[in-house]
A and B are shown apart, each in its own frame.
Chain A
Amino acid sequence: MRPTNKPHGFDQPRSLGEPRAWVLGLFLGVLALAYPLVMGAVDQPYFITFASRVFVFALAATSLNLILGYGGMVSFGHAAFVGTGAYATAILAQAGWVSAWANWPLALGVCALLASVIGVLSLRTRGLYFIMITLAFAQMLYYLAVSLRVYGGEDGMPVRRTLLPFGLELRDEIVLYYTSLLVLALALLLTWRLVNARFGWILRASSENPTRAASLGLPVFYYQLVAFVLAGTMGGMAGILLANLNGWVSPSFLSWHLSGQLMMMVILGGVARLWGGVLGAVAYLFLETLLSEFTIHWQLFLGGLLLLAVLAVKKGLTGLWGKERG
């Protein structure tokens, strides 16, 4: 009785019960688990690092999709959280907090706090003003990082990589790969549950029609703020991993270029789609790498391809995969 093809609709949990989705999920899971072993065997560590990079950007894009897609909050300052996560982990590690148990919760706490402050101030505005104010906050942090000589100023600073339990170190590219994969998988699971739970329904309602949501007795502002803080924290986690991946943090992690890249990934992959951020990150990073092999003007061609993708595929790449996921 429930039609399968809804115009906006919901990522319904039951759609995962479909055999096709299970088979595909199992296949991708095995592939992802076996990938570093295969690449290690053929001695191509670069591809392992590249995949980790994809996971980290997928995580950042997924976190942005939670507010931009599901929450309708078009933030042009998501780099603020990625960059803060990266700087926080680097600064804490420099101070001797190298264990993930201490380092990560503290760094994520900083990001959550920052997201609360930016959220409380930005969510008083809507539309274009929201875009501008989130951008302004991120740029403020960018110039703060540039001016902090202790932390390398414009050049940035090296990162002492985090120690994981059981003597694992993120310096090892295979450990980093599996850690990023696990974190991304957890983030996707959380997002999936979240958007289908009451919180997600109300978040989407607040995006589609805030006046009506309020007239039903829903405090729209608080729901949006909680989503904003969650997304900021998740973005901070991506920053922590990115710092460990690069072994270096610099103010560019806070710049609007990164915010714009993440936005492009979300739009390319699929706005308000569970896999939108992942597909967007995969497509964007592949295109970037491929095109830069051929030409130094790769950004021009990437821009053209993005334009085509947005015009041709309205729902992003997730829209290409058969019927709508719910």
Chain B
Amino acid sequence: MRLLEVVGVSKWFGGLSAVNNCSLSVEKGEVHALIGPNGAGKTTLISLISGLLFPEKGKILFQGRDVTHLPDWRRASLGIGRTFQIVNLFPSWTILENLVLAIMARDGHGFRFWKPVVSERHLFQRAEALASFLGLEERLEVPVATLPHGERRTVEIAMALAISPRLLLLDEPLAGLSPQESVRVVQAIRKVAKETTVLLVEHDMEAVFQLAHRVTVMAYGTILLTGSPPEVQASKEVQQVYLGEHEPFA
């Protein structure tokens, strides 16, 4: 079953075409990786799907429903969760507070004016359970601004998971991590992927080929091909984009 279908979307920034007539589909249950050289338009495409940006052309269908013109918060409440390339949390809040907020958002009853959040034990229990699922249980009371980068990345993923998304968009979850940290985050993603459909943007090819069922390659705002990891690795076209006359793969 198709969970997400992107049909011929285009996005320009001024005169620059960032995403040009791209089509892509994500099947329920798969880990779908989106790769390509820097500036290929991957993050733009993710933002078009999450509703942070709106396309000039084309359509985005989520569970068969046209979401092209829905704002980001509506799409999140329908089940599109995302992480950001640059860690994007509530920095002065603790891990626990970040997660409690996200779980509250999922609940959809935010207009409560009287009852203290700290008295809603079930929110904290769910936040703690989620934190231990991703191995964050030791640092619950620490403000996320003071965490090492790797843990902030994991919190970033935990936040997106807290809203129980049907589709999780991960935008370069390994960017800026040490090899040891990467291993931990890859483990976390693998765990998450057992239960959630994932669309993953990543530069780390090793991680991509470990995690992904299907891979889509982008370059210069267009989609080159979609295939299984071996197909993509074997493709001449892909090798040319990464190794050929164009910008080398970082």
Binding site for B on A (CB under 8 A): 1-3, 6-10, 12-14, 190, 193-194, 196-202, 205, 208-209, 211-220, 223, 226
B91 with A208: CB separation less than 8 A: yes
**CB-defined A-B contacts under 8 Å, sample of 13:** A6-B143, A12-B116, A190-B113, A194-B113, A197-B114, A198-B109, A200-B117, A208-B90, A211-B88, A212-B88, A216-B101, A219-B71, A226-B111
Given contacts A208-B92, A214-B71, A215-B82, contact A196 B118 (CB under 8 A): yes
Q: Shortest CB–CB separation between residue A151 and chain B, in angstroms? A: 35
Identify which of B88, B90, B119, B143 gathers the most chain A CB atoms within 10 Å of its CB: B90
B91 cross-chain contacts in A, Cβ below 8 A = 208-209
By secondary structure, the B interface counts as: mixed
How distant is the Cα of A129 from the Cα of B26 in the complex, in angstroms?
A: 40
Contacts of A198 in B (CB 8 A): 104, 109-112, 115, 117, 120
Chain B positions 74 through 117: 1 when the CB is less than 8 Å from some CB of chain A, otherwise 0: 10110001101000111111100100111011101111111111
Inter-chain contact A209/B89, CB cutoff 8 Å: yes
- In the bound assembly, the distance between CA atoms of A44 and B77 in angstroms comes to 60
Cβ-defined partner of A197 (8 Å) among B50, B102, B108, B117: B117
**Count of chain B residues near A, Cβ 8 A:** 45
- B163 close to A (CB within 8 Å): yes
Other A-B pairs, 16, CB within 8 Å; known A197-B117, A198-B111? A1-B141, A7-B145, A13-B119, A196-B117, A196-B118, A197-B114, A198-B110, A199-B110, A201-B101, A211-B88, A212-B159, A215-B81, A215-B84, A217-B74, A217-B77, A218-B110
**A215 and B50 in contact (CB under 8 A), knowing A8-B93, A198-B117, A220-B73?**
yes
What separation, in Å, do the CA atoms of A12 and B72 have in the docked complex?
A: 31
- CB B87 to nearest CB in A, in angstroms, measures 10
- A217 to chain B: which residues have CB within 8 Å? 73-74, 76-77, 105-106, 108, 163
Name the contact of B73 in the complex, choosing from A3, A201, A218, A226 (C-beta under 8 A).
A218
CA distance A220 to B116 in the complex (A): 20
Across the interface, which residues of B come within 8 angstroms of A199, CB to CB? Answer: 110-113
